[in-house]
Amino acid sequence: EGKKYSGKALMDFADSVVRSAWNLGEESFLDLMWYLWCGKNSPFSGRSFHTFERAMIDDRSTWVEPKNPYFDYWENSEVISDILVEFGLCPKEGHIINGHTPVKAKKGESPVKAGGKLFIIDGGFCKAYQSTTGIAGYTLIYSSHGLRLKSHRPFEGVTKVLSDNVDMESESVPVLSFSKRRYIADTDKAAGLNERISALKYLLGKYRLGELAES
């Protein structure tokens, strides 16, 4: 199209490409869809793919997949705040949830970045990464009281469970406690519920005045 995109506008454009590729199936959109999957500057990829090297070359130095600048800045709370603002979120209460990135927990790496503004929740659930991470990934739990991260130990198989009477264990760590408990009234869904309540009250008032017949 000859247009330049950045920030949220770039992600919105990528979203439109994906939807067009699915709904229309035109070759130009399908080509862009392929580029979004593995293109060097794709906003979806974030790293160079070395699938061929991993499959065909024994030299592990060729397997390294360089990452884009996002991963250099995800410890910077100011940069993460700017990203949140770009997407219309409050930098004080908003968070970025990151996945598909192994966290080297056994080396002391934390899944919490940028002063608690960014969380990595896919730090090794795939068995192939567990020798690198030392764990079996993270789960982020959101409740009305706050946010918690659960780190999971690798599942060693049914035989191990039966012989040693052990199961997949998890450790839970609170990462954010809300100063005030969150209620349904604080959610986006509450706006729709309030509209329905107002509509029902309006109809009830009309019924009591005799202006609305019972059906």
Tell me the pLDDT band of 42, cut-offs 50, 70 and 90.
confident
Query: In the predicted model, is pLDDT for residue 126 greater than 80?
Result: no
| Whether residue 67 has pLDDT greater than 70 | yes
Mean pLDDT of 1-26: 91
Structural domain boundaries, residue 43: 1-68
**85 in any annotated domain:** no
Does the pLDDT at position 130 exceed 90? no
pTM (predicted TM-score): 0.75
- Position 10 scores a pLDDT of 93
When divided into structural domains, the chain yields a total of 2
pLDDT tens column, 149-201: 988 887 777 787 778 877 767 888 788 888 899 999 988 899 999 999 999 99
- Could you tell me if residue 203 is inside a domain? yes
| Strand 118-120 with 138-142, pairing | unpaired
Q: Which residues does 124 contact at the CB level (< 8 Å), separation at least 6?
A: 102, 103, 105, 130, 132, 133, 134, 135, 136, 137
Q: Which of 27, 52, 68 is the last residue of a domain?
A: 68
